[in-house]
Every structure is written in C-alpha cells, then in structure tokens.
Structure 1
Amino acid sequence: MAISRLFRSTMVVSVMTMLSRILGLVRDMVLLGVFGAGGLMDAFLVAFKIPNFLRRLFAEGAFSQAFVPVLSEYKERFSLLEVQILISRTSGVLMLVLSMLTAVVILAAPWVITLFAPGFADDPLKFETASELLRLTFPYLLFISMTAFAGSILQSYGSFAAPAFAPVLLNLCMIGGALIVAPMMDKPIMALGYAVAVSGLLQLLIQLPQLWKRKLLVAPKVNFQHDGVKRILRLMLPSIFGVSVTQINLLLNTMLASLMVGGSVTWLYTAERMSELPLGLIGVAIGTVILPSLSASNAQSDDSSFRKTLDWAARLIILVGIPASTAMFMLSDVFMQALFMRGEFTISDASMSGLALRSMSGGILGFMLIKIFAPAFFARQDTKTPVKVGIASVFANIVFSLLFIGLFYLIKLPLHGGLALATTGASFVNAGLLYYFLQKRGIFRFESHWKKMFIQFVIANTAMIIALYVMLPYFPSAGAQWYRLGALMIICVLGATVYGIALLATGFRPRQLRHG
C-alpha cells in the first residue's frame, strides 16, 4: 500500500472516528446528565465494561491482530476461493466460541459481577441491577465481534469507511435509549442495556453489503482443523493478553474503584473517555491502517518498507500525542466542567473526574505508541514478545496502583486518582519495552533525523503551554453549558494555533511527515 494511500486511509478512519467520538461525548453528556455519577450509573458502566473489555480482547484486539496477517498472506499467495474458505471457517469457529461464552455469562451473571465489581456486594440494589444489565449487554460481544471480523476483512482490502462509521450507531442508540426509551420504563437505567445490544446488531448489518460486493460474504462453517484457522488460533491465544494490556489495566482499576467511595467508577470512566478522544482519532486510526500494510510488507520480505511505514506512523503519533497529553493535563477540570457538568452531574463530580484525567493524561502518548509498536510484532506473526511485555505491564500496573493509592491516601487526595496515575505509568512501561525489543532486533529505531524533530516538538509544546496558562483564568466555571462549551472551544483552537505556528517557526514543514 503506497504511503499516500495510507495517509488517505488514515484520514478516512480519523474523520469517521472523529464523528463517533463527538457523538460519544454527546452520549456521555446525556447519560451523566440523566443518571448522574455513582449509584445505578456505576452499575451500568460495569455491566457495559465487561463485554466491551472482551470485545477489545477477542475482536478489535487479539483476533484482529492474528487474523489480518494470515488473511493478507492468503490474499498474496492463494486464490479468491481459498480466501473465501478461510473466511468461512474462521467465522464459524468465532461464532461458536462467542455463542457459548455468551450463554455461560448470561446464566452466571451474578457471579461475573462479583468477580469484576466485588464492591457492589455491599449494595443489593446496585448488585442486582448490574447483574440484570449484564444479561442485556453481553450479547453485544457476539454482534460486535462479528462486526470487527467483517471490518478486518474490509480493511485488508483497503475499505475503511464502513468499519470506522459503525461505532456511530452505538452512540446514537444509547442517546436514544436515555432520552426516549428510559422515561417509559419502570427502571430507566435498563434502557441502556437494550440500546447496547441493538447497536451491536446494527453495526454488523451495515458491514454486510460491502462484503457481498467483494464476494467475501460467505456462510460460516465450523472447522478447527483448517490450516488458516489453526494458525490464527496459535497467534490469537497469546496475543489476547499482549494486545489488550491497556484494557486489562483499566478493568483492574474498575475492580479496585468498586471498593472505593461511590462515584469512583464513573469518575474514572469519564477520564478514560476523554483520554480516548485523541487516542481514537489518531492512535487507533493509524494502528488500524498500518497493520495490513505491515503484514503485506512482511509477506513480501520488504524490510525497508516495513521500517518506513513505522517511522511515518511514529511521526504522526508524536506530532499529536505530546500536545494532546499536555492539553488534557492543563485543561482537565475545564473539560469536565464544560462537557459534563449539568443535571445530576455536579461540580464536585467534575472536580473528581478532572483529578482522574490529570493523572491519566500523561499516558495518552504511551497508549498511542502502543497502537503502532504492537502491530509491528503481530504483522511479523510474533505474539510472544507482546505477551511478555504485557505481563510486565500488568505487574507494573498492580505495583503502581498500590504505590500511588498509598501515596494519595497519605497526602489526603481521592484514591481513584492514584488508580489513574498507575495506568499512566503502566502505559509507558508497555510502550518502552515494545520499543526496546523493536530496536534491539533491528526492526525499528528512532534514527538521527528524529533529534531535530524532538527539539521542534519541545519548543512548540512549550509555546502551547504558555498560551494555555494565559487563557485558563478566562474560562467561566459557571453559567450556561453552551457558554462553557464555547469558551472551551476557543481555548482549544487558540492553543492548537499557537502550537502549529510555533512548530512552523522552528523550521518544521509538513513534508517532514512524508514517507521516508
């Protein structure tokens, strides 16, 4: 795939993801305004996080990273018929496994909630509601995993728009559930569970016409003995852990947060959502786009193209990741007050969420780098290295959690901030170790041309920090929400403008983002 096509594909994914993220912010504003922080909202977030966590393990995470390299190889070496057979056998196995898992979790919902949110046991209403919601939300895993499977096929054939648009439907369904369906129900929070399940089915359905057009919509058939299926499973099983370390760490944080003061789960959730905004717009988009290209380069034994693609991706990541981390840190309270402070979500909730975002913001760059470093191993069908790194990262997260919770307790700060800070530390352990193995094995390293760019990025970010510091006192912490949103947009636009001008003043030019 030519680098110009990579850039166009990245822009397509980024634009669609931007639409999804904007609607996601609207969704969260609606949910928090209607249901507030803590209480039954905590119950829904846990019930939604469990299938969402497994989605990223089985679908967007481990499965996609294992399936795409094998599919790319079949495309290069075999006929369309062989590719169709691979898709048929793989989809059959995936559907069987996920259907069995869905049935087990629906039957054992109370035990699953006890495992993932042990603190809910002290609140019978919250525990019962979370169990009921899990039975509604968990089928989402089956639908969305098949959606991700279809999306992986389309992305391998250079079609990125439909898979990137699909998450928009989740946000629309949840907004409709909260505003339209919830008032008509005896237990309003249950409307969100139905909305999640319906959105999963809709996201799958919009992929099918594109598959049919490419003659890739084939009937599922279970066959564990197919050579391609066996290879995918061998790659997938260890990568389940390696590619989804960030989600494992966040889930561990949710478990610990359930033991803390009410509202901690929601405060961490809002911080995660804000940190995922730049991660989704750039990190996930680039990681999604480069995996098929890296897999094709590896299949063709083109090491030069492989390194150039990684270098190009790293430049875009660092160009956006450093200012995103900095802005999220400086504007944490401003973001929470402007976006979420309305209805049942109070200024106290905004302050608590702002603390979590400040603690988590530093890890945005680390999360982004993981999104491009990990695919470099999966494209080479190396799942062992990310697994080893993942184990180290989870261990680091546990150590950091205990350390920072203790520290926050001593200095009398809310403990959920320590959990968020631990996530930041673990993200840099993960990204740092992945890069260490990449450069040690001669796959990729930051070459000499990076020295000048690092200096340029530091100068531009310093200018942005000064600009944000000067503008912050003018943010209105009271008044109508539209007024606060307008002020936030002005601050963000001015900060980004200063960053861009300063970057150009250092001699940085857009051509430095070109391939090679």
Structure 2
Amino acid sequence: MQLGVQWLGLKKLNLQPRMAWRWSELRLAWADPGTQNILRLMGPALLGVGVAHISMLINTQIASHLAPGSVSWITYADRLMEFPTALLGVALGVVLMPQLAAARASNDAVKYSAMLDWGLRLVLLLSVPCAVALLVFPTPLVAVLYHYGAMTDFDVRQVTHALMGWGVGLIGLVALKVLAPGYYANQDTKTPVKVAVVVLVITQMLNYALVPVFAHAALTLSIGIGAMINALWLLLGLLKRGSYKPLAGWGMFTLQVLAACALLAVFLMWANSSVDWVALRAQSLKRIWLLALVLLASAAIYFIALWAAGMKLRQLVRR
C-alpha cells in the first residue's frame, strides 16, 4: 500500500521509475555511479539497523531468564514508548532529511545549521513533557491501556517499572531521529553506526550492572541511558565539525521548557495520587474518560505555561 501511494505521487510529478527487465539494462543500471554510491552508503545504514536488532535480541534473551512475564512486561512498555518516538522523532526526521540534504547540496551551511537547530528545539519542546509523563504518570497509562483480562495488578506494576526506564531515555531516542539525518545529509552513514556499536557495548555493560538490582526494568533503563549517550555523542560530533552552530536563545528556551514541565509534573503527580487507577478496573469507561481529561488538562497546562513564560510557539513552528 505504501509503495502504491509513493508510486502514484511520483507519477503525478512525472518521476515514476522505469523498470528494467533485460539483463543488459540491469547491468548498465548496476554499473551506474549513482547506484554504486547508494549501495556504498546503504551498507553502514543496514549495519546500523542490525545493531539495533542485536540489542533487542540480547535484551529479550536476558529477559527470558528473569521472572516469568518479564518479556511481556518489556513488550507492553515498549509499545507505549514507541508512540511518542514514532509520532515525534520519525515525523521530524522525515521533514528534516530532505531539507538538510538540499542545504548540503547547495552548500548552504547556514540553512543546514538552522534546520538542525529548529529540529532540536522541537525535540526538547515535545519530548521532555512526554518523558515527564512516562516518569511520573506511568501507572494510569498502563492501567487504562492494558489492565484487562488476564493482566493482574502485579503485572501493571511491573510494566510501569519498565516504562519508567524508557522515560529516562525518551529524549535521546527522539533526538536520534533528528541528529542521525544530520550525518546522512553529509553522506556520512559510518559515524552513526560506529557510535551505535560502541553504545551497544555500553548498554550491555549497564545490563550486567543493573539487572541484579532492577530486574527487567534494568533492560529498558540501560537502553534509555544508551540512547542519551548516543544522542549526546552525535550532537558533540556535529558541534566539533562545525556543521551545527546553535542559534542564540537556547538558555532561555530551555528554562521555559523546564519551568513548564515542572508545573506539568506537579499536576500529573496529583492526578496519579488522587485516583486509584488500578482499582477502577471494573469501571473501564470511567477510567478512560478520566485519563482523557487528565491528558487534555496536561496539554493545556504545559502550553499555557510556555505562553506565560514568553515563548512564541507559533513563530517557532513556522520557522
């Protein structure tokens, strides 16, 4: 379906690819310098995807030797983490990649740096409140989504612990979707992979140290910490190269976001403690409505706090 949508879009632009079926045409296409360049760049990128899957396989194997249910608890928590990561990180990466590539192709270093700056500000603006929610409001999220059927109160607590581990690294996970395209736009697919391999080793060392203490939650916590290290490493690399030069105003912007998140955290902690979300299992509809109201109120509190702190959101988004 996705291929069909893309094909129709290319057809409207009169850019649909011509399929080559003859052996002579395939040989010519394979020998084309553009094809060889794409294959050269794809190699490290495929290795990077492999590193991520290796990390998942190792963690699943470790979880299978822990308490019964550990693999399921991590899987349920992972689904909740994937929502903000996909909604924010992937969307930003899709928007930024062509802009960064175009800026590099035209040697417009100022635009390239400005686009990275814009993307990183949006990462901070949108991922920090999501991380706050995962850290201080995990039980209601887990209870409303999963606390049905065979899932027990104990299972809810265990999924909550795993989810908090993801919350630690959510900012890094989203930031990677912005920072990695900064390297890909420079046709540098090797650096992110090298960093990912080192971070994989660090993550497994953290697992060795943390699993005896935090059990299955250590597996998500170690990946979260690894994601933060990975993102910081890539950011420092862009800064060191001079590819990214932060624009003025980062200090005030960060203070505004942190102040708004502090208010959000206070509200979410109150909402978490004022309702026994697990005990409302028999009143699932009421629990769903309460969660919806809390989430709407949270969004209102956060953005009103940003506005009160002087942040010009419309100007930031349009930039």
Aligned pair count reads 309
Match of 1:269 in 2: 75
Matched, 1:473 2:279: no
- Relative distance call for 1:366 and 1:474 in structure 2 (3 A) is same
* d(CA) in 2 for partners of 1:245, 1:512: 38
Compute the displacement of 1:232 (Å): 1.1
Whether the 8 Å CA contact 2:137–2:269 is kept in 1: the answer is no
* d(CA) in 2 for partners of 1:432, 1:248: 22
Query: What is the TM-score when the length of structure 2 is the normalising length?
Result: 0.90
Percent same amino acid among aligned pairs? 31
- Relative distance call for 1:254 and 1:445 in structure 2 (3 A) is farther
Write out aligned runs for 1:201-280 (5 A).
Answer: 202-215=1-14, 216-219=16-19, 222-223=26-27, 224-242=30-48, 245-280=51-86
* d(CA) in 1 for partners of 2:52, 2:88: 17
Whether the 8 Å CA contact 1:271–1:353 is kept in 2: the answer is yes
Match of 2:95 in 1: 289
- Relative distance call for 1:245 and 1:488 in structure 2 (3 A) is farther
* d(CA) in 1 for partners of 2:48, 2:316: 29
Compute the displacement of 1:375 (Å): 0.3
Match of 1:152 in 2: none
Match of 1:493 in 2: 296
* d(CA) in 1 for partners of 2:69, 2:7: 40
Matched, 1:419 2:219: yes
Compute the displacement of 1:501 (Å): 1.4
Compute the displacement of 1:419 (Å): 0.5
Whether the 8 Å CA contact 1:373–1:434 is kept in 2: the answer is yes
Write out aligned runs for 1:111-190 (5 A).
Answer: none
* d(CA) in 2 for partners of 1:361, 1:258: 22
**Aligned match for 1:336, one of 110, 135, 142:** 142
Match of 2:236 in 1: 436
Structure 2 alignment gaps of length 5 or more: none
- Which residue identity is paired with 1:458? L
* d(CA) in 1 for partners of 2:310, 2:5: 45
- Which residue identity is paired with 2:163? L
- Which residue identity is paired with 1:491? V
* d(CA) in 1 for partners of 2:81, 2:283: 25
SS at 2:161 equivalent: helix
**Aligned match for 2:306, one of 489, 498, 503:** 503
SS at 2:133 equivalent: helix
- Relative distance call for 1:456 and 1:248 in structure 2 (3 A) is farther
SS at 1:502 equivalent: helix
Match of 2:111 in 1: 305
Match of 1:384 in 2: 190
Compute the displacement of 1:389 (Å): 1.1
Whether the 8 Å CA contact 1:243–1:374 is kept in 2: the answer is no
Compute the displacement of 1:445 (Å): 3.8
Compute the displacement of 1:383 (Å): 1.6
- Relative distance call for 1:445 and 1:403 in structure 2 (3 A) is farther
Match of 1:351 in 2: 157
* d(CA) in 1 for partners of 2:186, 2:95: 16
- Relative distance call for 1:488 and 1:246 in structure 2 (3 A) is farther
**Aligned Cα RMSD in Å?**
1.9
Deviation per residue, 1:64-115 (Å, 9 max, x gap): xxxxxxxxxxxxxxxxxxxxxxxxxxxxxxxxxxxxxxxxxxxxxxxxxxxx
